[in-house]
Amino acid sequence: MMPLRPSKSALRTFHLQRHIAGRRPFSSSFVASAASPHRSSLQKRGQSTAAASAKATESRAVPSPAFNQEPHRNEISPLQHRQLPELDDSMVGMSGGEIFHEMMLRQGVKHVFGYPGGAILPVFDAIYNSKHFEFLLPKHEQGAGHMAEGYARASGKPGVVLVTSGPGATNVITPMQDAMSDGTPMVVFCGQVPTSAIGTDSFQEADVIGISRACTKWNVMVKSVGELPRRIQEAFEIATSGRPGPVLVDLPKDVTAGILRNPIPMHSTIPSLPSAAAMAAREMSQKQLEGTINRVANLVNIAKKPILYVGQGLLARPDGPEILKEFAEKACIPVTTTLQGLGGFDELDPKALHMLGMHGSAYANMAMQESDLIIAVGARFDDRVTLSIPKFAPQAKLAAAEGRGGIVHFEIMPKNINKVVQANEAVEGDCADNLRLLLPHVKSVSERPEWFEQINDWKQRFPLSLYDRQVEDGPIKPQAVIEKLSDLTAHMKEKTIITTGVGQHQMWAAQHFRWRHPRTMITSGGLGTMGYGLPAALGAKVARPDCLVVDIDGDASFNMTLTELSTAAQFNIGVKVLLINNEEQGMVTQWQNLFYEDRYSHTHQQNPDFVPLAKAMRIAADRCFKPSELEEKLKWLIEQDGPALLEVITDRKVPVLPMVPSGRGLHEFLVYDEGTGAQAADARPKRGLPRPERISDTSP
C-alpha cells in the first residue's frame, strides 16, 4: 500500500499557518491554531483575581532615559515629501549642441580654440555665427591646446578647446599633459562616436577617456543630453579649483544631436556644502595650521640666512606677489624664483636673486646651499631646481638638526609635500592665504648685513652678464639679443608678455630678460614641449590684446608649430616672433659637447628660409645678421601693428651658462671662463659635423 502524500495545496496551507504563527505579536488575546488535527489548540491561561486587580490599578514603570537621550515620545510624525532638487526648464527643447553654447555663455567664456570634425558637428552647427564668443581656428589641434594654455596663463581664466573625435582628441594629449605639469586650467571638449557605436572600432573612435586619464585632473563621457549641463559645470569647477589643471569632457554625437525633453536638476555633483566630517576635519586642520604657523614664525625669527624660494603656486592668486613683497621686506629675506615663478618678484629689487636651478644664477644656487632656512612657497622642488638630492641644502639640513632652521614648504597639493625633499614644516593650503597668516607673527628686520654682503659678493663674482661678449664685427651673441629686447621694453614691462619655445633660447630669456610683473613669462616648464612658444603667444595676445606679446623662439622649436603663423595672419593676432636661429638643436648639442665628446648625433637640421616663408603666410618679416643693426631691427619688430617675424642669425655652439651638470650639487656649477672661452670659440668651426652654409643676406 502506497503512503499517502499531502497535496500541494495542503502543504501551502501548512507553511502559511507556520509563518503566521512564527511572526505573531506579543499579545495575550491571540489563540494559535493547532498545527495538527490530533492536537488541541493552545488556550489562554487565566489570571488570578489578585493579579487582575493589580493590573487594573498599577501602570508599568518607565525606565530612566540615558543622560544624553531625550525621553521617547509615542508621536507619529506626519509623512513628509522628500525635497526634490530645483529643476531648470530653460533648456528644454534645445539640442545638445545648443546646450553647449548656452553653458559657455553661463561660464563667461569669451574665446574657444578648436578644429571641427564629423563627430563634433552638432556643436559646431550650434555655435555657427555665435555673437557671444569668438572661435579661433588653428592649423592643428595641438596648436589649439597650446593657444588655450597661453590664454589661461595670461588671463588666469580656463582656456577652452573644442575638437573632434579620434585624432582630433589625441592631438590635444600633449597640451593636456603640458597643462597638467604646469598647473594650467584648461577645459577640453572632444567629439565621440555615437554611444551605440562605442566599442565597435568605428571610424575615428578612440578611448579618449582611457588615454587621457593620466594627463587630466578629471575626465568624463556624457551619456545623455540631460547630463550635459551638469558635466560642463563640473568641468569648469574642477579645472579652476585647488591646483588648476586640465579636464576633458567626451561628447558622443548622439548626445550633442539629441533634444532635451524634460527639465533637469542643475546642481553639480560636487558638494557645495561640506559634510559634518569634512567640517570637523577642517576645524582640526585649522588648529594644526595655527600651531604650524607659530613654529614657522619662530624659525623665521631666529634664522640668520633665510631665503624665499618661490614658484608658480603663488602666482595663482592675483594678490600673491604683493603678499610676497610685503613678507620679504618685513623680514628682509632674499627671493629666488623658479622658471614658472618669474615675474612673481621684481628682479630690480636688491633682494632679488633671479632664477635658480640647473641654468639659474650662480648666486641664487649658492644662497640656497648656504641658507639655514629655506621657505618654499608654491614650488615643488623640481629636479631641475634641486639637482642632486643628497647634496641639496646642506646648511638648512644642519640647522634643522640643531633646531634653528630647515626647510618650510607652503603647498596646496598634499602629494607634493615630502615627495622630493623632506620638509621640516609643511604648511598645507592656499599659499597666499597662509603666507598672509604668517606675516603678523614675523618680526621686522631692517637689515641682514652679513647675509647680503655674502650674496653681493657672489653677484659680483658670477654675474649673469658673464658670457662671451659681443664684438662689433663678430657674429651676434644670443644673450645680447635678449638683453637688448629687455632694454627696449624697460618702460613697458607690465604690458610686455614673453612666451618661449623650449631649448637654449628659453634659458637665455629667463636669464637675461628682467622680469618685474606676474603673468608676463609664459613657457613650458614641467613637460618642456618644443613648439609651445608661437601658439601660446597667440592665446596670450587674444587674452590680453593691449599687451606687446613676443615669442622668443629657437629655429628647431619654431619648426614644430610654424604653421600657426597663418593663424596669426587669418585672425590678425599681432604677435611678434623673435626667432634666434643658430641652425641646430642648441640644448642637445650643448650636452653632446659636454658629455658625449662632440658626437653631434642628428642635432643639425636644414631649416626653411624663414623670412620668405613668413611673407608667404602674409606676415611681415625681416632678418638681422650684424650686431650693428640689431637695435634698429628689434625696434622695427616691436613697432609693427600686426603679426611680424624677425629672424636673428646668431653664433653657433654657444653654451647656456651657468650650468649645473646632472648629478652634481647646486654649488657645483659651470660658468664662463674668458680664457678658455676664447679658445673654444676659435675651435668651434673645426668640431663636429661640417658647418652648413649660412643663409645669405637676401633681406630687403
HEC readout, 655-694: CCCCECCCCCCCCCCECCCHHHHHHHHHHHHHCCCCCCCC
Are residues 325 and 261 located together in one domain of the fold? no
Range of the domain at 561: 478-653+670-686
Instruction: Of 376, 465, 387, 390, give the one whose Cα is nearest residue 427.
Output: 376
Domain final residue pick, 220, 242, 265 = 265
Name the domain boundary from 461, 491, 509. Answer: 461
Q: The domain spanning residue 510 has which CATH number?
A: 3.40.50.970
Domain contains 64: no
From 461, 486, 502, the end of a domain falls on 461
- Continuous segment of H or E residues that includes residue 30: none
DSSP state of 642: S
On whether both 123 and 240 belong to a single domain, the answer is yes
**Low pLDDT (below 70) residues in the chain:** 1-85, 266-284, 674-700
* Within-domain flag for 187: yes
Q: Which of 587, 617, 647, 659 is catalytic?
A: 587
CA angle 482, 485, 486 (to 5 degrees): 85
Whether 453 and 514 map to the same domain: the answer is no
The DSSP annotation for 452-521 comes to HHHHHHHHHHS-TT-SS---TTSPBPHHHHHHHHHHHTGGGGGGEEEEE-SSHHHHHHHHHSPP-STT-E
Q: Given 134, 203, 286, 450, which residue is catalytic?
A: 203
Residue 41 lies inside a defined structural domain of this protein: no
- Give the model's pLDDT for residue 153: 98
C-alpha to C-alpha distance for 231 and 473, rounded to whole angstroms: 62
DSSP assignment of 224-235: SGGGHHHHHHHH
Chain Cα centroid distance, residue 184: 3
Whether 87 is covered by a domain: the verdict is no
Q: What is the pLDDT of residue 276?
A: 61
- Is the residue at 661 inside a domain? no
Task: Give the number of domains in the chain.
Answer: 3
Inside any domain, residue 389: yes
User: For residue 469, what pLDDT is reported?
Assistant: 81
- Rounded Cα distance between 242 and 17, Å, is 64
Q: Which 3-state string (H, E, C) describes 75-111?
A: CCCCCCCCCCCCEECCCCCCEHHHHHHHHHHHCCCCE
User: Is the CB of residue 396 less than 8 Å from the CB of residue 492?
Assistant: no
Do 220 and 126 have their domain in common? yes
Percent composition of the chain: helix, strand, coil (DSSP 3-state, to 5): 40, 15, 45
pTM: 0.83
Question: Based on the domain organization, do 148 and 111 belong to the same domain?
Answer: yes
Measured from the Cβ of residue 494, the count of other Cβ atoms closer than 10 Å reads: 12
Catalytic residue flag (residue 141)? yes
- Same domain as 235, residue 285: no
Q: Respond yes or no: is residue 253 known to be catalytic.
A: yes
Q: Which residue in 141, 370, 411, 428 is the catalytic one?
A: 141
The confidence score (pLDDT) of residue 199 equals 92
Cell of 659: 650650468
Asked if residue 420 belongs to a domain, the reply is yes
Q: Is the residue at 84 inside a domain?
A: no
The answer to whether residues 109 and 245 belong to one domain is yes
**Type of residue at 328:** A
User: pLDDT value at position 129?
Assistant: 87
Q: Is residue 505 domain-shared with residue 613, that is, in the same domain?
A: yes
Residue 5's pLDDT is 55
242 and 311 co-located in one domain: no
Strands 264-265 and 87-88: antiparallel
CATH label of the domain that carries residue 422: 3.40.50.1220
Please tell me the distance from the alpha carbon of residue 408 to that of residue 400, in angstroms, as a whole number.
Answer: 10
Residues 506 and 426 in one domain: no
Same domain, 342 and 385: yes
Choosing from 17, 204, 454, 570, which is the catalytic residue?
204
Same domain, 375 and 483: no
203 among known catalytic residues: yes
